[in-house]
Amino acid sequence: MADPIHQFQLKTYTTLGHIGHTEIAFTNSSLFMLIAVGLITMFMLWGTSGRGLVPGRIQSMVELSYEFVANTVRSSAGNEGMRFFPFVFSLFMFVLILNLAGLIPYSFTVTSHIIITAALAVLVIGVVIVYGFMKHGTHFLGLFVPGGVPPVMLAILVPIEVISFISRPISLSVRLFANMLAGHIALKIFAGFIGSLLAAGAWGIISPLPLALTVALTALEVLVAVLQAYVFATLTSIYLNDALHPGH
Amino acid sequence: MAQTTHATTEAHGGAHEAGGAFPPFDSSTFGSQLVWLAIAFGALYLLMSKVALPRVTRILDERHGKISSDLEAAAKLKAQTDEAIATYEKALADARANAQAIAGETRDKLQAETDAKRKALEADLHGKLDAAERQIVEGKAKAMQNVRGIAADATSVIVQQLVGRTPSADEVDAAVSQSIGQ
């Protein structure tokens, strides 16, 4: 049976140099990131090239994704949150296209690597913290102090709030990473069963079973890919709302 | 330098072997992934925030502007139509009132003329009636005068026949006056 982990292997195309002891290389991951950026940019620019008052097909899709993310940001972080709209939009499209591109057989899923999802999550929380302190100064720390609570309770609640804040980037990154990783492993294993069963003589008769499962799982994975991108964008908006309105 | 190259080559060789470090946790690849993520996401963010999204915003704004200006124009035209209708109705009401005024005036004038004619006629008739009445009274008085004359003549004749003497005119006149109670 094919190794289900092999698909996550980074393949180095060219080594570009070293920073300290770390090798910086152009890999399949880099390639897919650049493809995603290219696809998104092409989609956005091609779709808006007509600038039609009445949108065509591609322009409709562009406007749909624009309005979708804009509504997500607006409903979570209010109109003030729209200053982060380009950031959330880029995150959403980037994660979405990387997730979807990863579903194509023999392609590479960039978001199945925890370092990528963690970096994106840290970026989000970093923006929240930096903007929160820039806009509200020390008032931003009020985020950790729930209002209307007796001081004795604060001794318990403040650490809980701090832990919940720290766990945000962890949950944000692990959720996306784990979903992508588990989904692709499951797909690979079930797809692998088809080959193994066909090779096992008479057992080949039940090989349509894992094939059907693989088809069903592929549909599920498309859903998960879109859903996780949406969850990532929504949670980003909610966290950004904390930076905009730190009061409880 | 040679040592580092050796180390990375070894790490690479290990990673390529089946059963090497689980790829997502292979920290030797983190550096390049992070660098490329920064490049790719940075480029994407710049492209989206500087080029793509402002274009979409402009398109949507243009559409909203067009729709609202069209609605505004429609509202303006409707107001104009309403105004025209109001003007028309006012003109119609004015014309109607004018017509009624003219009709009333004409009626009043005719009425006045008729009244004047009737009054003139009535006055004329009254005058004629008065003249006639006066004539009757005069006639009556004249007649009464004649009756007195006749009575006096008759009296003097009767007295002459009875007494055989003609009474004086004064006596007859006094007697007649007494008999008719004057």
- Domain of B125? 32-179
Q: Report the residue of B22, B27, B53, B61 to disrupt the A interface, i.e. the one with the largest count of A CBs within 10 Å.
A: B53
Query: What per-residue confidence (pLDDT) applies to A12?
Result: 85
ipTM score of the complex? 0.89
CA distance A154 to chain B (A): 38
By the CB < 8 Å criterion, does A63 face chain B?
yes
State how far the Cα of A196 lies from the Cα of A173, in Å rounded to an integer: 34
Residue A95 and residue A176 in contact, taking contact as beta carbons nearer than 8 Å:
yes
CA B131 to chain CA centroid, Å, is 59
Which residues of chain A neighbour B64 with C-beta distances below 8 Å?
none
Cα Rg of chain B, angstroms: 68
Q: Output A50-54 pairs: Cβ under 8 A, ≥24 positions apart.
A: A51/B55, A51/B58, A51/B59, A51/B62, A52/B59, A53/B62, A53/B63, A53/B66
Q: Is B75 domain-assigned?
A: yes
Nearest to B52 by CA among A49, A160, A36: A49
Q: Which two tokens stand for residue B2?
A: 């040679």
Task: Determine the residue of chain A that is closest to B64 in CA distance.
Answer: A53
The total of structural domains in chain B comes to 1
pLDDT, one tens digit for every residue, chain A (248 residues): 567 788 888 888 888 888 877 788 899 999 999 999 999 999 999 988 887 778 888 899 999 999 999 999 999 988 888 999 999 999 999 999 999 999 998 899 999 999 999 999 999 999 999 998 888 888 888 888 877 778 888 888 888 989 999 999 999 999 999 999 999 999 999 988 888 888 888 888 888 888 999 999 999 999 999 999 999 999 999 999 988 887 65
Q: Is B62 domain-assigned?
A: yes
pTM of the model: 0.73
Q: Is B106 domain-assigned?
A: yes
